[in-house]
Amino acid sequence: MPDPPSVVLASLQTSGNTTALYQTAGFQQRFNLTPDVPPILLRSSVIHPYRYDQQYPSDDQFLDLLCQVLTRNEILFLTPVYFGNHSSLLQLFLERCCDLDEAPQAHLRAVLATKSIALVTHAHTGLSGERALRKPTEAFCAYFGIQHLSWTHYVLNRQGWTVDHDERCV
């Protein structure tokens, strides 16, 4: 059985649909998740916006969070869709990875480049052509030389969670 991925929950809601989807047995099984690897909650960390000068307040936790994410070979980003875009928390995390272009964090860029990424989005509606939703993740992967494995979109309807879109990207 392959190692479970680092799962990054990119929602501000503590008990919302992102957490509910993550906790379903079907989701756990589909992505090979195990109870011994808890999800990484972006909302639980202080991440300040990217700065060119890299002078962040002392409470910034981005590098600690990134090191947690990098402990697994695969990274699974789970994010709600708001108005056709992934969450602002995920965008903030992706933008902060630009810090890896500069010393002293440059060594983490090499580590990140050895990983692969799966994007999982969810909403109350299907995508109806919103393929642009995966573009930021594709650009991130291309910039850092990361393998983009897949994009899966779930819809919450009266029957529960259903897969609306499932695309392998490799």
HSE-CB for 16 with a 13 A CA cutoff: 16
HSE value, Cβ hemisphere, 13 Å, CA-based, for 72: 25
Domain boundaries, the chain: 6-168
Q: State residue 131's pLDDT score.
A: 67
pLDDT digits (tens, 9 = 90+) for 30-52: 999 988 889 999 999 999 999 99
Choose the CATH number for 6-168 among 3.40.50.360, 3.30.70.270, 3.40.50.720, 3.40.50.2020. Answer: 3.40.50.360
Q: Is the pLDDT of residue 124 over 80?
A: yes
- pLDDT recorded at residue 158: 84
